[in-house]
Amino acid sequence: MTHLNLLVGGPTSEWPDQLTAGKVFGDWIGVDRGTLRLLKMGITPLVAIGDFDSLSADELKLVKSAVSDIRQAVPEKDETDTQLAVTVALHEYQYDRLDIYGATGGRLDHFLANFWMVLEPRYRQYAPRIRFIDKQNTITFFAPGSYEIKKEPDKKYLAFVTLENVGHLTLPDEKYNLKDENVTRPISYASNEFVGDTGHFSFDSGMVAVIQSKD
């Protein structure tokens, strides 16, 4: 499975240890301040995207001298920098997975915009390829269907999160079960757990996020 990584400009305190240690492998796209942070880790991103209005003149100069492909957006735009980066990542590159770091913590209006991006018609079909990763959480997205998911060794908790109306949600073999639940508003079914190393679930309409997390 091939991964393309995005680094958004959220607080570094939310980074998973692996990223802090510079041990997330693969190609990168830098988003706004994320680009500068990648360069400081010795990583040159394929593309740098953003309005870069949070960078000083010297920082912007460094970015421009290091990265060959820069997409500088105007600050007053309808899309967020992260949306622009996801569009570039999905349309111009062929990877199985898009792992987004730095999109959590800090400003919650940003986090929610990022989290709900997968509900936009233009991104919806790509949702199953998008993953948000931070220090305590991995978020993945699912279209209607039946799935087997694997426990991440370092995570304890499992949550099923309905992003919209979800039909016949069934959790047959987790610690807490659901059967054919029709969920008519967003709910975070938090603090569930795997019983073994894998779990199954299914639903037939809407979109579900799965969050594996630890304290």
Check binding of 5 to its own copies (CB under 8 A).
no
Distance (Å, whole) CA 210 – CA 127: 12
Q: Are 7 and 50 in contact (CB under 8 A)?
A: no
Torsions phi, psi for 69 (to 5 deg): -115, 100
Distance (Å, whole) CA 36 – CA 55: 9
Question: Interaction with its own copies in 123-162: which residues (CB under 8 A)?
Answer: 134, 136-137, 139, 157, 159, 161
Q: Look-up: residue for tokens 């908790």?
A: 157
H helices, E strands: number in the chain: 6, 14
| Tokens, residue 40 | 């400081």
Check binding of 105 to its own copies (CB under 8 A).
yes
Question: Interaction with its own copies in 23-52: which residues (CB under 8 A)?
Answer: none
Check binding of 54 to its own copies (CB under 8 A).
yes
Distance (Å, whole) CA 50 – CA 70: 9
Torsions phi, psi for 182 (to 5 deg): -95, 110
Point out which span in 17-25, 41-49, 91-99, 186-194 binds its own copies (CB under 8 A): 186-194
Check binding of 13 to its own copies (CB under 8 A).
yes
In the complex, minimum distance from the CB of residue 81 to its own copies, in angstroms, rounded to a whole number: 10
Check binding of 185 to its own copies (CB under 8 A).
yes
Nearer to its own copies, 93 or 157 (CB): 157
**DSSP 8-state secondary structure symbol assigned to residue 18:** H
Query: Which of 62, 119, 143, 149 touches its own copies by CB under 8 A?
Result: 119
Check binding of 113 to its own copies (CB under 8 A).
yes
CA angle centred on 169, ends 166 and 170, rounded to 5°? 175
In the complex, minimum distance from the CB of residue 151 to its own copies, in angstroms, rounded to a whole number: 15
Check binding of 195 to its own copies (CB under 8 A).
no
Residue numbers at the binding site for its own copies (CB under 8 A): 13, 54, 76, 80, 104-110, 112-113, 116, 119, 134, 136-137, 139, 157, 159, 161, 163-164, 176, 185-188, 190-191, 211, 213-215
